[in-house]
Amino acid sequence: MGLLSPIKDHHSERRLFIGRVILSSAISIVLLGGVVARLVQLQVVDHELFAEKSQGNRVRIEAVPPIRGLMFDRKGQVIAENLPAYQLELIPEQVDDIEDTLGRLAALDLIERGDIPRFKELSRTGLRFKPVTLKTRLTDEEIANFAVQRPRFPGVDFQPRLVRHYPDGEAVAHAVGYVGALSPGDLQRLDAARYAGTSHTGKTGVESSYESDLHGQAGYRHLVTNARGRQVPGDSSNLLESLPTDQTAGPGSNVYLSIDLDLQRLATRSMEGRRGAVVALDPWSGEILALISAPSFDPNLFAVGMSTGQFSALQDNPDRPLFNRAVRGSYPPGSTIKPMLALAALETGATNLTRKSLCMGYFMLPNTTHRYRDWKPEGHGPVDLHDAIAQSCDVYFYQISGDLGIDAMHDYLDRFGLGRKTGVDVSGEHTGLVPSREWKRASFRERDDQRWYHGETVIASIGQGYMLATPLQLAAAVGAMATRGKRFRPHMVAAVEDALSGERRMTQPERLPDVDISNDFYWDNVINAMHDVMQGPRGTARAVGSGAPYEMAGKSGTAQVVSIAQDAEYDEEQLEERLRDHALFIAFAPLERPRIAVAVIVENGSSGSGVAAPIARAIMDEYLGYGDDASD
């Protein structure tokens, strides 16, 4: 008997099918609902958020750096400007072998071999479609040389840019300063939004101190890009219509300096081949008329970018051209402080106008055998205070130093601004040093070293020992002598001008505490003695002041660099050049209502009256209209 086929239960199968359909439909509806809900969230709830993100994917905001403000001297002559220049750039993604390309560029003398590792690192770490600057300022010869070779260098080209330029270069380097490439430290302290797109910032001098005025305000523009951030070629204006209008960069303010560029050039020529500094200022306002440090350097090298070798040559130069001697150099002031100490001695009663001392060429403290020598071995004979200043008699000041005392010296020199920062509007100023008993106690650990000795007072009376001053401090101090005690804070910037509106913000003279001397006759006597230094019959700088068409006042100084044994004679020819005395000179003119005060320091120049004084005289002649190049 054969097997019987089972009878199908059509009713059960139908129920199972319907159940499955219902379950599938329910799942489909749930999934579809989820999709709809997500679409509603994306298209309605979060529409603005994703629209903004979508816009950001196709539009990149690119910063537009501002044009840096210009600098002018007091006569409107350009000191710092921006010039168009071509710079050599490499786009990493377009170069197959970066190391080989850089090597061949070095073979053409377009870059330095020592800079190749740095350029490789920049190419590796940056966006590959962003250009890497290889050289900031190409000469016409370099452009022509590369143009011939361009087919051999895919991905390398030159592009036009604005570059900072200083027409007078070395003559203004230490006064104006320079701009240099942004460092990681700069990026941390500066406002990232304001410096977006900017590659350089002020590093020293006025460029640094007035960076906020000179820099300007960065702008921006919208670029249509692809997913990799690369700009899409062609006209994309229709895609940008709905975006905010591009913001134009605001140019930096122009800065007018109190510097007289003609005077600056003369001072630079006068110090050629020497080490030292010159500072000239207006004693009635504190405006700095000239400020140079020698030797100097070309600030344009920093603006365009220098090679490692070039920077090393500057940094390792034993003459230290990068060091600003005018505001940072600290030197023993020597006899230049004698006029200030003379006022202190008169005011405190340590001497008077009629007291005479016998100068035999040396001075000895009681119960000692040490001789404190005068610069004139045979001595000056009988001298009073007037003669002691005019002839720079050291012995006279040795003799009154005990009655005056180191603390009184400190007090009165401090009133003239020595031993403290002047507050000039450029960075990096040093304080100098005017010693006192309190200073020595605080500066030394050993008890014996903390004691102040009478012999230290003796040498302090001629500006030696611990005493140090900067050229700027000496210029400000002689300016206070010129005004009979009225003091003004030195400053370099005369005005800041809005580049668009032309509106100027003037720098007002800032009064400092006066040097109070009870008797005006003391001022008369000391200033007359300074006048006789240059135009008296026995003045130490009479050869320099002779024949001048105006009256002037000054004081020479010589600062000892190495000690000379008691029984030895100072023989300049036997000493190495760098061991010779420093030459100093301070002066002001005209005698009545002075218009200029000058301080000159020539390192290892030996004679203040013979070397530094002629430079001061030439600067005063030029400013007052009596120079060789002056035209009335």
Which residues belong to the active site? 335
- Alpha carbon 280 to its chain centroid, in Å, reads 17
373: its two tokens = 């020598």
CA dihedral 398, 400, 405, 410 (to 10 degrees): -80
C-alpha atoms less than 13 angstroms from C-alpha of 505 in its C-beta half-sphere? 9
C-alpha atoms less than 13 angstroms from C-alpha of 156 in its C-beta half-sphere? 27
CA dihedral 330, 474, 214, 308 (to 10 degrees): -30
CA-closest candidate to residue 620, choices 548, 517, 529: 548
514 neighbors 501 (Cβ within 8 angstroms):
no
341 neighbors 412 (Cβ within 8 angstroms):
yes
- Alpha carbon 437 to its chain centroid, in Å, reads 34
Tell me whether residue 191 is exposed, middle or buried, using C-beta atoms within 10 angstroms of its C-beta: 0 to 12, 13 to 18, 19 or more: exposed
Q: Identify the residue whose tokens are 């300074």.
A: 530
- Alpha carbon 223 to its chain centroid, in Å, reads 38
CA-closest candidate to residue 337, choices 432, 452, 268, 271: 432
484 neighbors 520 (Cβ within 8 angstroms):
yes
Q: Rounded CA gap, 378 and 358, in Å? A: 12
CA-closest candidate to residue 395, choices 383, 403, 386, 404: 383
502: its two tokens = 């032309």
Tell me whether residue 477 is exposed, middle or buried, using C-beta atoms within 10 angstroms of its C-beta: 0 to 12, 13 to 18, 19 or more: buried
Q: Rounded CA gap, 321 and 157, in Å? A: 34
H or E element, residue 174: helix 173-176
Q: Rounded CA gap, 433 and 326, in Å? A: 15
Q: Residue 83: beta bridge partners?
A: 163
